Amino acid sequence: MVSSNADFGARIVASAEALVPDLVELRRSIHAELGLHLPATQRRVIEALSGLDLEITEGRSLSSVTAVLRGGRPGPTVLLRADMDALPITEATDVPYRSENGAMHACGHDLHVAGLVGAARLLSMHRSDLTGTVILMFQPGEEGHGGARLMIDEGVLDAAGSRPVAAYAIHVGNAPRGIFLTRPGAVTASSTHLTIALLGRGGHGSRPHETLDPVPVAAEIVLALQTYTARRFDAFDPVVISVTNVTAGTGVDNVIAERVTMTGTVRTVDPNTLSRIEHELPRLVEGIAAAHGLKSTVALDTGYPSVVNDDTVTRRAMETLRGTFGPRVVEVPRPTMGAEDFSFISQQVPTTMVLLGAATSDDAAPNHSPDAAFDDSVLGDQAAALALLAIDALAAARA
């Protein structure tokens, strides 16, 4: 295996380190744009890929970029993916390149873009040695918009003329800098949107006995959901239910609201557990509401399924990365409860998703925080790892 050769891996890392200054500049220049339409980011990506002899296609319904790199000899296809969108969070960091438009790259997608550009440059350096093709997938709309599914609909998996035999993504996080974390099997949770509406009877704040006040009932339901997850599910079958928004009233302090709406998220790993929640949770809410004379509705809308790492592909990926990065490659015992739309790729192609630690300090803020910051010196490792995974997967497929 060419990519398991320590000398070859060291050369790839050395080449990647030489790219780091340019990749850091690229990362810090990427505009924080939201959702599916990222025109400035798309232009920046295309500029960064110029001169690499790639077959580049822009998305029709979203600002995606698909670049196909064909090796020196025909062979199988692999896919490398980076998401590009930011989050609607006002940045609180004090870095000189912080976003000032009310959106920020609080999940590190700017590093993902730069890392994949670096991998494209490394693979281009070794094009003549590649037997096969690499699809470079630059994807908008990961943060709740299902951009991966839209890119699949537009043909990203068939962009090279044959389906990928493997697909890889590396996601940065606030783990210790330079640590690669992954596992075979489920690596993220599924994400289900929860909406609860309670309808009572409003009235004057001084005469609650004449009303059916939904606010204390909402509070009772929030607490009941926490008891439900703790007492109805095995501790080794992770379930998270978080009510993240409660809306009631008109802002007038002597008016009891007629209606309360609550929204939140349900995270599970086992599909059977999610099916059980879909059956039991509405009954729980309806029972509590009815006990207080209220009407209720419950809606559960599953957005992203779990990312499930292919066992064979992932164990080989871990071996490949350990050949270059040694003990910095760690198998984690359990999945994260975050969700990722790389799951739509994992449903159709054998995949491996890896977390790369990019913490700037021991107490670094988590992803999705306004204080989130990432050490972009990891971009060399990220680019090298993606390139090595692609090279090894092509070698494995033709062996």
In 33-99, beta strands by DSSP E: 55-58, 65-70, 73-83
Alpha-carbon dihedral sign for residues 6, 114, 52, 159: positive
Q: Where are the domains of the chain?
A: 2-188+306-398, 190-304
Q: Residue 399: its pLDDT value, please?
A: 62
Using CB atoms within 10 A of its CB, is residue 347 exposed (0-12), middle (13-18) or buried (19+)? Answer: middle
Q: Residue 230: its pLDDT value, please?
A: 94
Q: How far apart are CA 145 and CA 33, in angstroms?
A: 13
Class of 190-304 in CATH: alpha beta
Q: Residue 212: its pLDDT value, please?
A: 96
Q: Residue 3: its pLDDT value, please?
A: 41
* Residues with catalytic roles: 85, 142
Residue type, 208: P
Pick out the chain residues at pLDDT < 50: 1-4
* Residue 27, token pair as written in the block: 């990362």
Name the region of 285 (left: φ>0; alpha: ψ -120 to 50; beta: rest): alpha
The side-by-side arrangement of strands in the sheet containing 295-304 is 239-248, 259-268, 190-199, 295-304
Q: Residue 246: its pLDDT value, please?
A: 97
Asked if the domains at 2-188+306-398 and 190-304 fall in one CATH topology, the answer is: no
Q: Enter the CATH code of domain 2-188+306-398.
A: 3.40.630.10
Strand pairing partners for 298?
196
Q: How far apart are CA 137 and CA 140, in angstroms?
A: 10
Distance set, CA 59 to CA 86, 152, 237, 398 (Å)? 18, 11, 39, 31
Residue type, 96: P
- pLDDT by residue (tens digit) across 364-382? 999 999 999 999 999 999 9
Q: How far apart are CA 62 and CA 3, in angstroms?
A: 34
Q: Tell me, what DSSP letter sits at residue 131? A: E
Give the closest residue to 141 by CA, choosing from 103, 60, 87, 66: 87
- pLDDT by residue (tens digit) across 102-122? 999 999 999 999 999 999 999
Q: Residue 4: its pLDDT value, please?
A: 47
| Contact assessment for residue 118 and residue 379, using Cβ atoms and an 8 Å cutoff | yes
Distance set, CA 242 to CA 73, 221, 227 (Å)? 51, 12, 12
* Residue 98, token pair as written in the block: 């912080």
Residue type, 86: A
Alpha-carbon dihedral sign for residues 367, 361, 11, 396: negative
